[in-house]
Structure 1
Amino acid sequence: MAVAERTGNPNLPVLTGAFDSYPGPVLALDEEARLVPLNDAAIPVADDLNGDSGVSLMPAMVQLAVKTRSENRAKTRTFTLPSTGRQVEFIMLPQPDGSQLLIGRDATLEVSIRSALAESRTRFKDLVEVAADFAWETDRDGLICYISPRGAIGYAPEELLGEAPDTLLLAPETAPKPLPFLADMTVRNVEVWVRTRGGEPACILVSAIPVLDKDGVVSGTRGIAIDVTEERQRQSELARLKIRERLVSYIVDSLRNEVTPTEMLHSAATALGRSTSASSCIVQVRGPHGTPLDIAAFGAAPDPDLAEEAMNAILAKHGSAVEGQIGTHKYLGIATDYRGETNGGIVLWRDEDSQDWDDEEHALLKAVEPQFGIVFRQIADQHKLEHLSRTDDLTGLRNRRAFMEDLSREMARYERYQETGALLFIDLDNFKPINDRFGHEKGDEALQAIADILTGGTRTYDLTCRLGGDEFAAWIEGADREIGAARGEKFLSSLEAWKADNLDPEIGFGMSIGIAMFEPGTGETVEGLIARADAAMYDAKKGGKNRIVFADSRIVDA
């Protein structure tokens, strides 16, 4: 049916021929909300919108008509035709008779392109957000002119706009040059350290391309940045752990490669001191009840009293590294233990003007502490075994082997410094009757009493010994003849006091004491000195027992 025949409105035929050459649909919306085609292109559109399928669009169409009539000006809106899905953009023009003229054009391609562009922008935005922490752009002057909406390194976008990127650098002197934010060529994954809004260091990888104007001249730079701070921190921590492992291995190897306790401790102190920034290192092994057993130092260690004060402070705080300052020295130390029992300590020292102890030095001490604890236990066990091998089981005095070794060392020292000493050789009188009458238990008690008398009548640096059976000896350091005699008399009087409380006076239990004075420069040996003291002791027995006899100064050929 021709357009003129379809209008049904005597006023519209006047318009029907006006739009024959227009390629798009032209329609009229009459007062009854019915669409009337005014050219051939509008016929299928009118059929589509006037039919059942167009019912859903008519409210929007009528609403648009109301707006054009009330505002008395044209309105534009795009409608999707229900039957074909075509996108048609209509300009609605109000007419004097109350109808509306709709001039349409096919906008399907334009809408598709616009939709594709919007989708592409969304896709690009999503990819940028996935690939980077933020996107950015700088202008011709090198100032930030764009930042992703969510901001960067803790800053909101408006805080960075207009700023120069170099104001964000953590250490400008070490930053890459030129900065990727000002690149005039494509760059990828350039590492830049910046400072966040909170003042924390952050590492970002920046990729950038130059922006060219219509003349091909660089007018700015744009790119993306990825925050890799956590990854760099993990890498740094891993590197520190590897270095620490190598240091621990080096220190432990230094311990294991030595044999004697002294060499082990000196090697450990040296290795640990060299592995840190300390000026000196002190290590100490403690025995039962905290008794110091061995100590070694590396470097210029502070005064022994200060070192002992620091060691005691460290041992009092078992389980953690301890920092402190004594006098003009800073120290860092840790107590060692083996199976929960404290057995020593490690102390690092440096001057008060030096840098503070860092976390890595704390971590290194914590890492080597278990190994030191094991080694210190081995050293303590070695001390114990050595003590047992040098000690008389019953009395706790030195045995013959230990006494001979220690006396030989003392005589060599006295020879070097031209000092004298006194050797008291003691044989017990009438000891056998005690065992015969009262049993060996009482005899052991008597021997232990003699040991107490000797240790009670000497100083800690003197030497006391049970040579075997009922023979004893004592070396009095630095003694002259008068002091030697006084010590012998004290032994005799102490024995008399013990006998009064523990034995029948008729037994006649006593000591025969021979004293040989050591005279430097004579070349006398240990064996010769003992032989002279032994001969003097026999003279005491021959002279009536329980008395003191001095050996003559003649050297006895042992």
Structure 2
Amino acid sequence: MKGCALQTASFMPRLQRLIDAADGPALVVRTSGECLAANAAARPLCEALRRRDPELRGLILSATAGGTVTGRVVLNGDSEDRRAFEICVVPEDSDLFLLVARDVTMEDNLTHALLRSRDLYKDLMACSADFGWETDAAGVFTYISPGGALGYSPRELFGQLSQAILGLGEHADDNVFSTRQAQRGARIWVRARDGTRVLLVVSAVPVHDKNGEWIGARGVARDITRDHEREATLRLDQASQALMGRIIVAIRSEADPEDILRAAAQSAAQALRAQAAVILARRSKEKTTITAPLAESADLDRIARDALTASDADAEEEVSVGLDAGERQCLTTCIAASAELRAAIVFARDVATEPWRAHEIELVHGMAGHLSIALKQAEILERLEALSRHDDLTGLLNRRALMAELADRLAQARRHGRRGCLLLIDLDHFKALNDS
């Protein structure tokens, strides 16, 4: 709009000259909002007055009290035609006002874009990290995100030396919070406020001044302690299953109870990095002590006997695992395969440098369960073998076993040149009696 001519002769030519000479929007209006004169740049403001825009009319009404009024007006705020103006309203008389404006749409859009970018940054950092930080050249925290970190509030961390408050040690070169090179996904153990150790994954970049001098670092960090513990637990489970598999294979490769115990103790001792192991097996009619092919120890033998005696008192418990209360802190397992067979295995190592861990105790407990089953099966096989050679009623050898035993005895007598006597006793009707 080129501009409409002043409709009242009483208007001073000065107002028209001001409107024509203005670099930006300029217009003359009445208190009612009627536009009397305007230049082409003021078209959006004239249209807003016709729509009775509340912000623009509010500035005009404020000027009726006398004195110049300034303010910011945003037109079409929710549309793509959004325009922003800084307006100065100068009263000429009680019903006549000169409006001079500056189009600040670009500045306003940049401000809104900056605000949106800041909100985006805050949301992304909240989703991707537990906290953001910045340090100076001395490694002192100069910024911590509002949520704080590691149990500390931002106020508590601000101004603190990162090495000292997080327990990072004295080597500045290893401090990711004072890095001079970009780092991504660095893992570092730190100390939280409650004293616990926390594993952080940190991404950081160095900060330089306008002269290229290094002045600090900034980055984000996330607590992955629980993830690390879950991964460690999973690795331990996988390792324990692999060890258990090897122990089970060793157990199943033997048939004799004593060989089963020896194989289990040897495999488990290697898996547990034990320095010594002792096996004690007790039957109802005989007692056998078996030392695994590791270092022997009288103390371990005593511990095994005590554990076996204690297991005899608790006849209901089939498998038990525990730590000896003595100075050696031996790992002991007791197995009750049956009423006639009980066994104890004791493992020992230097607990001062490598204490027993929970997953190792679980490993021995699992081994003991499989060992109990294997011993039961071995006893059943022994009994089946005995039944296959001996008569169940009399205990005498059956025909097949007798012929095999007789051949062995005769061969032995020939080798040594010994003489012997073979007696065959035939009992009338004995087979019928035995079969019944």
Shorter-chain-normalised TM-score: which range?
0.7 to 0.9
Which deviations, in whole Å up to 9, do the C-alpha atoms of 1:149-173 show, x marking residues without a partner?
3333443333322222223546648
Residue 43 of structure 2: aligned partner:
44
For 1:308, the aligned partner's letter is L
Residue 71 of structure 2: aligned partner:
76
CA contact (8 A) 1:335 1:369 kept: yes
Residue 248 of structure 2: aligned partner:
252
For 1:348, the aligned partner's letter is V
How far 1:77 sits from its partner (Å)?
A: 0.8
Instruction: State, as a whole percentage, how many aligned pairs show the same letter.
Output: 27
Alignment partner of 1:191 is 2:187: yes
Instruction: Report SS of the residue matched to 2:180.
Output: coil
Residue 235 of structure 1: aligned partner:
231
CA contact (8 A) 2:308 2:342 kept: no
- In 2, Cα distance between equivalents of 1:9 and 1:295: 129
CA contact (8 A) 1:170 1:201 kept: no
Aligned length in residues? 404
For 2:73, the aligned partner's letter is T
Residue 32 of structure 1: aligned partner:
32
Residue 210 of structure 2: aligned partner:
214
How far 1:34 sits from its partner (Å)?
A: 3.0
Q: TM-score, normalised by structure 2?
A: 0.74
Residue 60 of structure 1: aligned partner:
55
Alignment partner of 1:274 is 2:273: no
CA contact (8 A) 2:279 2:344 kept: yes
Residue pairs, 1:343-422, within 5 angstroms? 344=342, 346-350=344-348, 354=352, 357-385=356-384, 388=387, 393-394=392-393
Residue 114 of structure 1: aligned partner:
111
Residue 149 of structure 2: aligned partner:
152
Which deviations, in whole Å up to 9, do the C-alpha atoms of 1:38-87 show, x marking residues without a partner?
x5235524541243xx23x1x22233344556695533213226999352
Which deviations, in whole Å up to 9, do the C-alpha atoms of 1:328-384 show, x marking residues without a partner?
55454455578x999755543548985753112122123323421231112222343
- In 1, Cα distance between equivalents of 2:10 and 2:339: 115
**1 or 2 for the larger relative contact order (CA 8 Å, sep ≥6)?**
2
- In 1, Cα distance between equivalents of 2:357 and 2:193: 26
Gaps of 5+ in 1: 409-431, 445-558
Residue 416 of structure 2: aligned partner:
none
CA contact (8 A) 1:285 1:293 kept: yes
Q: TM-score, normalised by structure 1?
A: 0.60
CA contact (8 A) 2:183 2:203 kept: yes
After superposition, the Cα gap between the structure-2 partners of 1:199 and 1:309, relative to the gap in structure 1 and judged at 3 Å, is: farther
After superposition, the Cα gap between the structure-2 partners of 1:69 and 1:273, relative to the gap in structure 1 and judged at 3 Å, is: farther
**CA-atom RMSD in angstroms:** 4.4
Alignment partner of 1:302 is 2:301: yes
CA contact (8 A) 1:278 1:348 kept: no
- In 1, Cα distance between equivalents of 2:276 and 2:66: 93
How far 1:245 sits from its partner (Å)?
A: 2.9
How far 1:24 sits from its partner (Å)?
A: 0.8
CA contact (8 A) 2:244 2:367 kept: yes
CA contact (8 A) 1:269 1:296 kept: no
Which deviations, in whole Å up to 9, do the C-alpha atoms of 1:114-169 show, x marking residues without a partner?
22333333333344344433322112321111222333344333332222222354
For 1:31, the aligned partner's letter is T
Instruction: Report SS of the residue matched to 2:56.
Output: helix
After superposition, the Cα gap between the structure-2 partners of 1:391 and 1:167, relative to the gap in structure 1 and judged at 3 Å, is: farther
CA contact (8 A) 1:293 1:380 kept: no
- In 2, Cα distance between equivalents of 1:342 and 1:16: 121
* Max Rg structure: 1
Which deviations, in whole Å up to 9, do the C-alpha atoms of 1:380-436 show, x marking residues without a partner?
2234345546866336799998xx9xxx9xxxxxxxxxxxxxxxxxxxxxxx99x99
How far 1:96 sits from its partner (Å)?
A: 6.5
- In 2, Cα distance between equivalents of 1:254 and 1:107: 84
CA contact (8 A) 2:130 2:222 kept: yes
After superposition, the Cα gap between the structure-2 partners of 1:21 and 1:325, relative to the gap in structure 1 and judged at 3 Å, is: same
Instruction: Report SS of the residue matched to 1:5.
Output: coil
Residue 179 of structure 1: aligned partner:
175
How far 1:318 sits from its partner (Å)?
A: 4.5
CA contact (8 A) 1:251 1:271 kept: yes
